[in-house]
Amino acid sequence: MEISTTTPTDSAAPTPAAEIRRLNSAAAAHDGIEPFSEQFLLGLDDGGERGHRHVIARTGNGDLVGAAASDGSTAELMVEPGHRRRGVGTALYRVLVNGAGVDTVWAHGNLPPAVGWCRSRGLEPVRELLVMGVGGRDLAAAAGAVEREGFHVMDLDRSRRVYGADHVDGEWLRVNNEAFSWHPEQGGWDADRLARGQDTDWFDPEGVLLFWSGADGSGDGGPAPELAGFHWTKWHGGDGTGTSVGEVYVVGLADGFRGRGLGGPLISSGLHHLADRGADEVILYVEADNTAAVAAYERLGFGVRERHVAYGSPE
């Protein structure tokens, strides 16, 4: 079988986003997990704003059988189930390694075939993300009281109306960058990156809960308050089995408010919101080596649902 590997972003032809999405769905139906993460799916349609490079593989008659994407250092790739073990994945990866400086590749779900493929190329685990989930009675128990004396919780929409969009977004951006100064994807955001984060079909400003210090929510009596932390939730809806799923998408705490017992109320605020919306289960992503966070989530009743591992060359 003839494989033609091309890089759409290097030519006048647009990235075949619809074809790649169909391939992603076919792979997910076969494997039980999507090979492309949200950021790379969004990158198919953003006109190059994220700076992603895409590589595709077609048969001699033009059928799309493989696709890969890179952000310049990490990559994700997928091969149509009926065309696996024919060198398609290797051809895609070789193009990205040679042309885009890729040094790591994600194995979402860490499935045995992906693990074997990575290890056969001398790649070793360099990062692991856990998907943890909680549901039923454990979710109801975790979504407890959220109020703390000296703080007021408001969603993003109401906060902007009361305190002004410029102040609210500036505080949100500041706290995000303080909380994630170490994070390769979430840290170092600017206003444009924050705006892109909200430019999704699922974004709901009522699902972003903000903890304001010294505020009563009225907007009267002095300067706009300081943001102590935020809980950004995501609504997935039905998962095809009759279960409604929500997500602890991003939780951030300002440097000046650490060690004051706000982590629990911050988490609970989002869980409470999602439970009220009808979530049967709430999931979250957490770095596997963040043992303190993993332990805290386990105490709330969360358990590991999936493992996502990035493989790279050993140092």
Q: 88: annotated binding-site residue?
A: yes
Q: Tell me: is residue 19 an annotated ligand-binding position.
A: no
252 is in an annotated binding site: yes
φ, ψ for residue 146, nearest 5 deg? -120, -15
Is 178 assigned to a binding site? Answer: no
> Is 171 flagged in the annotation as binding?
no
DSSP string, 194-255: HHHHH-STT--GGGEEEEEET--SS--SSSPPEEEEEEEEEEEEE-SSS-EEEEEEEEEE-G
Residue 1, annotated ligand binder?
A: no
Residue 89 labelled as part of a binding site: yes
Annotated binding-site residue? 185: yes
Rounded CA separation 154/104 (Å): 39
User: What is the rounded CA–CA span in Å between residue 302 and residue 281?
Assistant: 10
Question: Was 82 annotated as part of a binding site?
Answer: no
d(CA 283, CA 135): 9
Cα–Cα distance for residue pair 218/162, rounded to 1 Å: 7
On whether 253 is known to bind a ligand per the annotation, the reply is: yes
Residue 241 labelled as part of a binding site: no
Positions at the binding site: 38, 77-79, 85-90, 185, 234, 247, 251-253, 285
Positions at the binding site for acetyl-CoA: 77-79, 85-90, 251-253
